[in-house]
Structure 1
Amino acid sequence: MDGRPVVADLLGNAPEWQERALCSQTDPEAFFPEKGGSTREAKRICSRCEVKSECLEYALGHDERFGIWGGLSERERRKLKRRAA
């Protein structure tokens, strides 16, 4: 072993809501599209997810800069933060 954490170690520290998230059962590529790629599928999944608000709170609180979190893109989260300030 080289001392780096393995995925299982990282997942063990995940908040409980992440285990219930629909995205945890989905291809993560949909939530991290290439620049200019479609976010439609990720947002559709988020719209049906029971932990959408917890996910968005987490992303805002941890300054997540990439991907779809809580149904919002990074740009949409920035706008939301600006409006709240």
Structure 2
Amino acid sequence: MPQPQQLPGPNADMWDWQMKGVCRGVDSSVFFHPDGERGRARAEREMRAKALCRQCPVIVQCRTHALSVGEPYGIWGGLGESEREMLLKRGGFRRSA
């Protein structure tokens, strides 16, 4: 079997941005709703999560990741589930193949 000419590089650099996120060390329940959460409780939790996102130095990388892979749940890059879905449906972002 022929040997590859070039080995793939390490993948850690693709995810390094996550180490710089404001969300590191924050309880994930801030970003992901529990079953059955609705109304005011959900809106307030999402507002807290998005406030953290607005302070984050990697908000763009986080948002790009979520839109690229189609993250179905949670707050990513300051966007909620329905906001990401709307962007994708409107063509405001193209998923990578």
Q: Is TM > 0.5 for Structure 1 vs Structure 2?
A: yes
Match of 1:40 in 2: 47
Tell me how far apart the structure 2 counterparts of residues 67 and 40 of structure 1 sit (CA, whole Å): 12
1:53 corresponds to 2:57: no
Task: Tell me the secondary structure at the aligned position of residue 45 of structure 1.
Answer: helix
Tell me how far apart the structure 2 counterparts of residues 48 and 81 of structure 1 sit (CA, whole Å): 24
Match of 1:8 in 2: none
Shift of 1:64: 0.4
Tell me how far apart the structure 2 counterparts of residues 32 and 68 of structure 1 sit (CA, whole Å): 7
1:73 corresponds to 2:80: yes
Tell me how far apart the structure 2 counterparts of residues 51 and 80 of structure 1 sit (CA, whole Å): 19
Unaligned runs of 5+ in 1: 1-12
* CA-to-aligned-CA distance 1:3-46 (integer Å, 9 cap, x gap): xxxxxxxxxx6700000000113111100023322311100000
Task: Tell me the secondary structure at the aligned position of residue 87 of structure 2.
Answer: helix
Normalising by structure 2, what TM-score? Answer: 0.69
Query: Root-mean-square deviation (CA), in Å?
Result: 1.8
Normalising by structure 1, what TM-score? Answer: 0.78
Q: Structure 1 vs Structure 2: percent identity of aligned residues? A: 36
Number of aligned residue pairs = 74
Flag as ranges the 4+ runs of structure 1 deviating above 6 A.
none
